[in-house]
Amino acid sequence: MRILLIRHGDPDYDHDTLTEKGRREAVLLAQAAPHMQIDHCYVSPLGRAKDTALYSLKALQKEAKTLSWLTEFPAVVDLNLSEELALAYPDVPRQDSRYEARNVIWDMVPSYWTEHPEYVDPEMWKQSLIAKCGDAVQVYDRVCREFDALLETYGYARQNRCYRVIRENTETIACFCHFGIICALLSHLWNVSPFVLWHGMALAPTSVTEIVSEERQQGIASFRALRVGDISHLYAGQEPPSFAARFCEVYSEKNRRH
């Protein structure tokens, strides 16, 4: 079985759609889509993912099923529950002595998470301060249950940290979704903390991550990556990758996200 996790194009977050650059990226992705041998398509309910998928679905002459849990990872952390969290998210605005809710929980500064090894532990992150001050664990567990339920319909049932093969399957599914949720799904497949991937990768808009099952022992499968964050379709179309999902390369770049 093959799983393609495809991030949306360059986003216009204010209007939940794509920028003009994002539409050019989506067109180039669609040109590559017919060569990906996709059998079934799924899409996040958010506009930027749907708008990205639209071009590829037309090229494939397919429809996509919308899955609510493929939305961008929607967990929230409440900084008002612990003063220590101001060290993790120093850029969060404060109004009337209260912090805004933080729904991009992986945007911790490195000086914080590197001093707290629980965030890179596959189990201990669920007892971390951020987990206690928000709904990250509940959201993560729900997403993983939904993902496993989908995989089971294709013949792979979660068993401990790998998958029992109910029936062999060589089909390919494509999920048009978002950076945060892609990292969460990969962390579940690979049995690592999602914070490792949230902080260790930056998947460019319209990038393709390809995961394939391996059945080295009959009836027991695991999943490995053949490519992560592939944007060769952008290079083929001479379209530079957009900066979304990244932070400034050097701090003096004032026009970049800090």
Beta strands in the chain (DSSP E): 2-7, 11-12, 17-18, 40-43, 64-66, 94-95, 98-99, 156-159, 162-165, 172-177, 208-217, 220-230
Point out which residues pair with 64 in neighbouring strands: 41
What pLDDT was estimated at residue 109? Answer: 94
Summarised one tens digit per residue, pLDDT across range 115-166 is 999 999 999 999 999 999 999 999 999 999 999 999 999 999 999 999 999 9
The rounded percent of the chain whose pLDDT value lies above 90 is 89
pLDDT average, residue stretch 228-239: 98
What pLDDT was estimated at residue 257? Answer: 86
What pLDDT was estimated at residue 102? Answer: 81
**Do 150 and 65 meet the contact criterion of CB atoms below 8 Å apart?**
no
Q: Would you report the helix, strand and coil content of the chain in percent, each value rounded to 5?
A: 40, 25, 40
Instruction: Let me know if 26 is exposed, middle or buried by CB neighbors in 10 A (0-12, 13-18, 19+).
Output: buried
Helices (H), 4-104: 20-32, 47-60, 85-88
pTM of the model: 0.96
What pLDDT was estimated at residue 131? Answer: 95
Give the separation between CA 155 and CA 135, rounded to whole angstroms: 30
**Which secondary structure element, helix H or strand E, spans residue 181, and what is its range?**
helix 179-190
Within the chain, what is the greatest distance between any pair of CA atoms? 61
Mean pLDDT score of the chain, rounded to an integer?
A: 96
